[in-house]
A and B are shown apart, each in its own frame.
Chain A
Amino acid sequence: MTDVRVAGVGLTRFGSHADRAGRDLFATAAERAFEDAGVPREDVEELNYGNFMGALAEHQGHQAPLMAEAAGVRCPATRYESACASAGVAVREAVRTVAAGDADVVLAGGMERMTNLPTAEVTEGLAMAADDLFEVRSGVTFPGAYALMAAAYFEAYGGSRRDLSHVASKNHENALPNEYAQYRREVSVEEAMDAPPVAEPLHLYDACPITDGASALVIVSAEYAADHDVDAPVAVTGTGQGTDRMALGDREYLARTPAADDAAEAAYAAAGVGPDDVDVAEVHDCFTIAEVLALESLGLFEVGEGVGAAREGVTTADGDLPVNLSGGLKAKGHPVGATGGSQIAELTRLLRGDHPNSEHVADAEVGVAHNAGGTVASAVVHVLEVAE
């Protein structure tokens, strides 16, 4: 496999961009990625773009050529859709393309606009990531599906709402210095506990917000970086993807995420590392319980033991294994089709040492990113390493 590098990363601020079209958001992220990379636009050979509900939010299909225009590149452009893992699969295909030697420079990322829709329509839109016949028509909402998983987890392994409130509080604290984060304010454990219920046992602060935003990455071969004097110290050394049955009720496990197990196993194998080597992680905490399930699928905690990780201080900024130093989806925000790219961008910044939270992982060499779609019917895992 060709050595694959992240040459540059670009993000918009996550939050509400009521007066900016999606194409403008992605253009901004791409602008910043090119500036960060020092790679000329004309060298881009492919655009891999993630988006989930653009047809609903902006009445806009066929977004890939539109985003190529917006980014100022002319090359084969493809939209990837895997619900909340849309950008994750877009980045994964960029990594595979460069690794295979089919291209030296690929622009990858994603965009989502959500805040322009009424909350009820966003709820309906997100539910499109579930099985319409057997889940949505039976009253399953997106928070409701994760609530079913949380309740099943508590039943099988123990844990409590308070444990999950610690996850929320941790991620909000991590977002404080992050200039791209939607919610840069503290949420105490008690505040999370006292918030109104959304789908019990999940309450308001167990859920990520509704977010607009975009992410972009310039993925290059190490050979290209060397030849063009591009500073790209972070390598993508492993990528993996997994799939599970679409409907939660059809799965063998209601409180585990085997698709992410499979993705992690493949990514670790490609990188030649294991869970014990991981120094820092960005995981898909669309709901607090999702962070717990991610930690277990990544092998960072035994099954049934991840729920106490934040409360015990293991995954906090000053813990042994900081998780979601960006603030996570929970506090940084979750523009669905952009999130997978945003995680890689944040992990790259953390490993390069130019993230506002890099001080917490000053010696980190191995990072892992976990991006999930739906109730983890899709999962993508990437391993990033400091290469030089």
Chain B
Amino acid sequence: MSDGGAGEGGGTGGDGGGGDETAPSPTPITDADYDEWLDALAAGEGYALVCPDGHGSLPPRRRCPECGSDALSREPLDEIGRVETFSVVHVPSPRFADDAPYVTAVVDLGPVRATGVVRGVDPEGDAVEVGLSVAAGVEERETDGEPLVTFRPVDGE
């Protein structure tokens, strides 16, 4: 494997249907349900899968991970989420070599939480705090252009 850092992840893929063997970063698995969810989030139509007991989860799911129910329905995510915890990452994995430093955060989006990177803030500043109001979306990783779940601060008045 390459130890060259920045992006050359060593080509784990190979079953992706051809054409992108020069992709700079490994994508160990692909999943159509996940990709569909990511596309929806990018379009501002993010959703969670919710069981009759109200447990939320993200695809791919065939059963509720909390109670095992297969009666999962799509429910929209809250438009404004709340940062529950965050960290300023200084030492990244190769997939994020050019993104660091960056702020990773777990955000409550109503029926489910999501994990992503906070954009639109100075990572070294004090702009991010627990309770910060953010909107979820999808942007590109700086390192390799792959899609990334992101959060941007919104006026939470």
Contacts and interface: CB of A to CB of B under 8 A. Distances in A.
Contact of A254 (B88, B106, B112): B106
Interface in B113-150: 113-117, 130, 146, 148-149
B90 A118 contact: no
B96 interface: yes
B130 to A, nearest CB: 5
A133 B115 CA distance: 10
A136 interface: yes
B90 A200 contact: yes
Nearest to A198: B91
Q: How large is the interface on B (under 10, 10 to 19, 20 to 34, 35 or more residues)?
A: 35 or more
Residue among B5, B85, B113, B148 having the largest count of chain A Cβ atoms under 10 Å? B85
B8 to A, nearest CB: 10
Interface stretch (A146-154, A186-194, A310-318, A336-344): A146-154
Interface in A163-194: none
Interface in B50-89: 57-58, 65, 84-89
A139 B84 CA distance: 16
Given A120-B3, A249-B106, A254 B89 contact: no
A134 interface: yes
A127 interface: yes
A331 interface: no
A70 interface: no
Contacts of B95: 124, 136-137
A117 B1 CA distance: 9
Contacts of B9: 124
Interface in A233-269: 245, 247-250, 254-255
B150 to A, nearest CB: 9
A267 B114 CA distance: 33
A141 B58 CA distance: 20
B115 A135 contact: yes
B104 A140 contact: yes
Contacts of B84: 152, 254
B43 interface: no
A110 interface: no
B90 A199 contact: yes
Contacts of A134: 58, 114-115
Given A139-B99, A155-B130, A248 B87 contact: no
B102 interface: yes
Contacts of A245: 65
A76 interface: no
A118 B3 contact: yes
A136 B93 contact: yes
Contacts of A136: 93, 95
Interface string A111-148: 00000011011011001000011111111110110011
Sorted nearest first, the 4 A-B pairs with minimum C-beta distance are A147-B87, A152-B85, A118-B3, A200-B88
Given A120-B93, A199-B89, 15 more contacts: A120-B97, A121-B94, A132-B29, A138-B116, A138-B117, A143-B89, A147-B89, A148-B85, A148-B105, A151-B130, A155-B85, A196-B90, A249-B113, A250-B112, A254-B84
25 contacts: A120-B3, A124-B94, A127-B93, A134-B115, A139-B96, A139-B99, A139-B102, A139-B104, A140-B104, A140-B115, A144-B89, A147-B89, A148-B87, A151-B85, A151-B86, A152-B130, A155-B85, A196-B90, A197-B88, A199-B91, A200-B87, A250-B112, A250-B113, A254-B84, A255-B85
